[in-house]
């Protein structure tokens, strides 16, 4: 880890991730805009969320068992509670 708290080899990844997020958002919004005449708004929102979730599972790496095995169980469950709360909040906002 370097002196500024950034892991070695990851210093340039933040701009790439930000650009990827911007492109992904614009492509998703463009596709959704074209499909709104065919699919209702609630259906489109669900489709975008489920597609994003599926991509995160596929591209995200390890599964639940690998995540739990790699960290102490107590902190892993605290992290999952935060993630679940965030997911519920996003779901309610949409």
Confidence (pLDDT) at 32: 75
Task: Round to whole Å and give the CA distance between 76 and 11.
Answer: 26
User: Which pLDDT tens digit goes with each residue over 2-52?
Assistant: 555 555 655 568 888 888 889 988 887 888 778 878 888 888 888 878 888
User: Quick one: pLDDT at residue 4?
Assistant: 58
**Cα–Cα dist 31/23, whole Å:** 12
Instruction: Read off the pLDDT band of 79 (50, 70, 90).
Output: confident
- pTM: predicted TM-score of the whole model, two decimal places: 0.43
CA distance 66 to 33: 38
How far, in Å, are 7, 12, 25, 46, 87 from residue 53 at the CA level? 26, 25, 14, 10, 10
CA triplet 12, 15, 16: central angle to 5 degrees?
A: 85
pLDDT at 65 over 80: no
């Amino acid at each position: 880890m370097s002196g500024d708290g950034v892991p070695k080899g990851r210093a340039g990844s933040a701009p790439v991730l930000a650009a990827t997020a911007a492109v992904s958002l614009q492509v998703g919004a463009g596709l959704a805009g074209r499909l709104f005449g065919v699919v209702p708004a609630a259906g489109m929102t669900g489709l975008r969320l489920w597609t994003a979730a599926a991509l995160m599972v596929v591209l995200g790496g390890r599964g639940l068992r690998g995540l739990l095995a790699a960290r102490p169980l107590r902190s892993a469950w605290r992290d999952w509670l935060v993630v679940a709360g965030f997911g519920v909040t996003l779901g309610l906002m949409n």
